[in-house]
Amino acid sequence: YGKRYVLEASANGTDWTPFYTETAGTGGSVTAHTYPQEVRARYVRMRGIERATPYGYSLYSFKVYGGEPAPASTTRTNLALNHPAYSNVYQHAGTSPAFVTDGGRPADLKGDATRWSSDWNADRWVSVDLGATSTIDTVDLYWEAAYAVDYELQVSDDNRTWRTVYRPSADQVAARRADVKPPGEATGRHDNVRLPQPVTGRYVRMLGKERRSFYNPAPATAQFGYSLYEFEVWGTGGSAAAAYPALPGEQSGTYRTTFFDDFTSAALDRGKWRVVRTGTEMGSVNGESQAYVDSADNIRLENGALILRAEHCKGCTKAGGGTYDFTSGRIDTNTKFDFTYGRVSARMKLPVGDGFWPAFWLLGSNVDDPSVSWPASGETDIMENIGYGDWTSSALHGPGYSADGNVGARQVYPGGGRADQWHTYAVEWTPTGMKFSVDDRV
């Protein structure tokens, strides 16, 4: 039997939404009620997470019962149960916000049960859509050890304008801040928040203000992200029909050009491009030995091409307080042009040899926002090459899959081609995926 599993529903057999989670199954007959949530679907499946034995799963019967749509709750209940949940950042798919409303939490608030976890920044939030306006009197937060020392509970009617209805007192924050332990000894906590008076709203969120500290090791301390097992919202109203919005469908038709530069002008078009400088638009990254500068020695147009050139200049470049042995050029369209979905391509040839790292990226337009930054902004590497002559690579970076943990692949140049020859690098980005290509070879 399944010790841990999820029941999921789908309208098309491709996109699945969880509506019931088991974290400590004991076998036998199990009846999973969906009420007060209304679940509408054509397909239903059991997705195993952990087996109870070394063998496979073994199931005698799988029965699904249906009926009339469930009405809005007129009795006090957990309005958040199995409702859509969202966050501004989560670490990876295994700790998505969907898990804070699945009804699963360990009794001792320890262990790796289903939960939402954020990256290592303070201003992270997780919210629940109750489906309709509700009257709310209590919120229960079941935290893993990485709880919020300080936070706000907020409600909203439209998911845009938020009203703070609760924040821990200064004494409570001080006591939580003082609870510092090694990660292996720390336990979670249950915050039972009874509001002074009932409030109304459709959306409820926890907005983090300060993370818990851990000895790492003592007396040094470190802070990690937030980790929340369950987000319960108690009251009346809501709607059992709340659901995650469907993904936008693929669009037919042909592309139209919205951004173009063939670099045939006399100088770089500063209306299209931002020149990035070390110590000004960005700090030093990746341990690079170069400083990005705004100089014609490093960035210029020549014979209908953009030239980005690295120059050796030992110890002579001081940018942002550092000393560098090389200068180089970097440009982007941040604050000038951004988009969602489309095809991006560039024809270029690359230097080959030790120390070179040419790159052609898409970055989230909020990458310079300190409350977001990288990798929460997302990064799409259309082309990266670290000096090799016979292959290039593409990759995706985001929360939980950045740097060496990125999702990516290499492509070897066909027919004996090399990186220092002209090639066209492209990505086609649609609502359902990305296709990377070199010279139209996906």
Chain mean position to CA 31: 34
User: What is the distance in angstroms between the CA of the first residue and the CA of the last residue of the chain?
Assistant: 42
Residue tagged active-site, from 22, 144, 152, 384? 384
Per the CB < 8 A criterion, the answer to whether 177 and 149 are in contact is yes
Q: Which two tokens stand for residue 17?
A: 């939404």
HEC sequence for 274-320: EECCECCCECCCCCCCEEECCCCCCEEEECCEEEECCEEEEEEEEEC
Nearest to 298 by CA among 259, 272, 324: 324
3-class DSSP state of 76? strand
Which residue matches tokens 């907020």?
Answer: 154
Neighbouring C-alpha atoms within 13 Å toward the C-beta of 68: 2
Catalytic entry in 210, 250, 379, 428: 379
Residue with token string 């173009």: 260
The pair of structure tokens assigned to 187 is: 């336990």
Question: Pick from 1, 8, 48: which is nearest to 25 by CA?
Answer: 1
Residue 174 CB coordination number (10 Å): 12
Locate 442 and state its tokens: 């996906």
Catalytic residue flag (residue 311): no
The answer to whether residue 250 is catalytic is no
In angstroms, rounded to a whole number, what is the distance separating the alpha carbons of residues 292 and 281?
10
Q: Which residues are catalytic?
A: 379, 384
